[in-house]
Structure 1
């Protein structure tokens, strides 16, 4: 009985060590993702010349430009078949 308890305790300790390692890896991945996200936002701002507003879990364009909308009636008669 004592031997089985020691074996179980050793298994529990091994599992706790593995869990700790997984947690550390997850923290590293989260940090890398945040850095990649910030880098992507900076590249987008540079390319589009617009400031991006970061919110928790989302990004939005702060200075948007007007979008040109073409009605379907105007595009029906064109030979190009649309845009």
Structure 2
């Protein structure tokens, strides 16, 4: 018996599985232990929504991933994301 494990690929998941995967991954994140942006992008893939915000001299990139389905219209909105 041979068991091979493959890294989860959110891009290949159906939308219901991807939402659940995103939700589980995000729930594990902690402010006390900051996570590198590249680590998030490697595990979750491209964000569903991205914004940039300037606070004084700093520019923050804010990324959102869909974690809950609200409306079947083919558009991902903020109320569907974390």
Q: Larger helix proportion, structure 1 or 2?
A: 1
Kindly name which structure, 1 or 2, has the bigger radius of gyration based on alpha carbons. Answer: 1
Structure with bigger RCO (C-alpha 8 Å, 6+ apart) = 2
Same fold (TM over 0.5): no
Query: Could you state the TM-score of these two structures normalised by the residue count of structure 1?
Result: 0.25
Q: Larger strand proportion, structure 1 or 2?
A: 2
